[in-house]
Structures are given as C-alpha cells and as structure tokens.
Amino acid sequence: MTEILTVTLNPALDLATSAPFVRPGPKLRCAPETAEPGGGGVNVARAITQLGGRARALVALGGPNGEALKALLLAQGLDLLEVPAPGQTRHSFSVTDEGTGEQYRFVLTGPTWGGGDLDAVLDRIVESAAADAFVVLSGSMPPGAEPGWITRACDRLGQRRVVVDTSGPHLAAQADGPQPAPFVLRMDSHEAMELAGDPLATREDSARFAETLRQRGAARIVIIARGKDGSVMADGDGLWRVTAQNETVVSAIGAGDSFVGAFVMALAEGVGAPEALRRGAAAASAAVQSAGTQLCLPDDYARMLALTDLERL
C-alpha cells in the first residue's frame, strides 16, 4: 500500500450533544456530550484507520484543546505527526434537536497563521511525505493562508499525488486551474453550483462540469458529490457516477471525509479510480448512519459497499 499522509492545519476538538428542542431564548438542557477529533485531514486518517488501512496524520496542535485532541488521536491509534500551531486549537460543536432530528453545527475559526508559520509547515510536509505518497489536504485552510497556498504546496510536493477537498476562496482559486494542479479535487454539489453559476440539476450536468474543471487544469481527477444522488467523477477516461445508499441520516458529520478516506485508500492499494469512487461512496453512506462524529464503521461500510453501484455516464 502506497503511503498516505493527511494534513490538518486547522483541526478541531469536536463536541456533539442533543437537546429536547433547539430554539432561541430558554436555556437548553443538553444530553452528555461526546468529544471526537475533528478537521478534514484528521477525519480522513481516522476513516482509513477504521477501515483497516494505514495513514500518517500531520496535525497542527496548540494549547489545552490541542493536548486534549492529541490524546484522543493517540487513543484511536492514529500515526500522529504533531506540528505546532500558532495558537489554541479550536472547538466545533453540534447539537441535535431530538424532536425534529435536525442537526445544528457550529464551527469556530481557529488561530491565524503567518507567512513564516506556513513556510515551516510546508517544509515539514515535504520532509515527511515519501516521494510517491498520497498527500491529502482536506478541510478548511486556516486563517492567514491566502488562496494560492495549495498551488505552492503542489509545486513543493513535486510528483507526490495531492488530493484536495477544501472550500471557499481556496476552492474557487483551484477551480481556475493554476499549475501545478493536484491529482484529485473533490467538492460537494452546492460548492460546484456556486462555481458553475448553474443549478447543475442532473447528474449529467454535474459530470460535465467536473470534466470542464478537469480540462481547465483544476486537477487530473475531479469529483462532485450530489448527496442522495451519489457522486460523479471525471478522470480523463470517462464520466462516472456512483449511487448513494443514505436514505437514513443519523449524522452527516464526516461523510465527505469518509468518502475521501476510502477513495484514497483504494488508490493507495492500486485500485483504479472508478472502483475507488464506488468505495468512497460506500464509506460516505456508512458514515451518515453512525451517530455524532464516528465516521464510517467497518460493518456499515461492508454492507453499503454491496449496495453501491457504479455506472459510466
């Protein structure tokens, strides 16, 4: 299995709880909270580990929250590579309304990074990743990292295969096709619609837009998640779609990260991109069936994989 290094510059200590109802005004008496590691790259590494694979997790940690997060990561058996963050690791938290089943998710900002901090961590990433490794940049970029940092990272990482799953200005910048480009770029349907300026009403619309981004040079492989309608992919050999078996949603937290984890794990095992897409979709479907931030559990993943279909569009 080819080495996988996940990178999380803005991790979070994720707290999850529930209340009989959620509305403004009264004090909300919550159920006991659970604490889990959070942040895109952290969750990708957790998903890979839970599915029986191996990934090293480079995580920026700071302050008491960082120490608490570190303890959780080590307890879950992650191969942790700690780097210093320029401030206190953030919290994020979610509250489920027990009456409606709706989930309210609150994501805090995290510390601001300076240019020297970013240069130092990029040096550490380059030093830590094998020459043929998959390097996963997943989750929000930290405050202080300007759009274009992903391009700098791709340039420094050379032949390593970079997988990007981010949002906001960094995703918009990547969609313009700056070079060198990552190996994989993934986004959700809402993000794709904003970039396209189009509702992308059908899976074919999304697949064609993925191909447009690929031809523009945004990445060698472009994936767009369409929620209950599955995901589509343009990989240069065709346009593909996978189904999603997620009619029952217990918690949406970590579905995208579970997708990326299973997808990259399959590529690292030598599996082709279309089958890797199917495995990623199965992991995402498994993740929404688990409570809180548990991600894709192995038994759920095996069951969903048998139900997940792949087709060429």
- pLDDT value, residue 293: 66
CB 76 within 8 A of CB 49: yes
Query: Of 165, 257, 300, 309, which is the active-site residue?
Result: 257
- pLDDT value, residue 163: 98
Contacts of residue 296, Cβ cutoff 8 Å, sequence gap at least 6: 47, 50, 51, 254, 258, 261, 262, 283, 284, 286, 287, 290
Quick one: average pLDDT of 189-197?
97
Q: What are phi and psi of 15, to 5 degrees?
A: -110, 135
Q: Which residue, among 247, 137, 248, has the nearest Cα to 184 in the 3D structure?
A: 137
Distances from the Cα of 236 to the Cαs of 157, 166, 204, in angstroms?
22, 22, 16
Contacts of residue 221, Cβ cutoff 8 Å, sequence gap at least 6: 183, 184, 185, 214, 233, 234, 235, 236, 273
Residue located via tokens 């990259």: 264
Gap between the Cα atoms of 284 and 51, Å rounded: 12
Percent of residues, the chain, with pLDDT higher than 70: 96
Directed axis angle between helix 298-307 and helix 273-287, to 10°?
120
- pLDDT value, residue 313: 93
Query: Which tokens go with 72?
Result: 């959780």
Chain centroid to Cα 297, Å, comes to 16
Quick one: average pLDDT of 229-234?
96
pLDDT of residue 249 exceeding 70: no
Query: Which tokens go with 248?
Result: 């029952």
Quick one: average pLDDT of 14-29?
94
Query: Which tokens go with 38?
Result: 């959070």
Of 249-263, 277-291, 298-312, the poorest mean pLDDT is in: 249-263
Quick one: average pLDDT of 24-53?
93
What's the whole-number average pLDDT of the chain?
Answer: 94
- pLDDT value, residue 176: 97
Q: Which residue, among 201, 9, 156, 17, has the nearest Cα to 92 in the 3D structure?
A: 17
Active site residue 176: no
* CB neighbours of residue 75 within 10 Å: 9
Quick one: average pLDDT of 123-128?
97
Radius of gyration of the chain (CA): 19
> Which three-class secondary structure state does DSSP give residue 225?
strand
Contacts of residue 14, Cβ cutoff 8 Å, sequence gap at least 6: 35, 36, 37, 38, 91, 92, 93, 94, 253, 293
Quick one: average pLDDT of 238-254?
79
pLDDT in tens, 129-159: 999 999 999 988 999 999 999 999 999 999 9
pLDDT of residue 110 exceeding 70: yes
Residue located via tokens 């890797």: 276
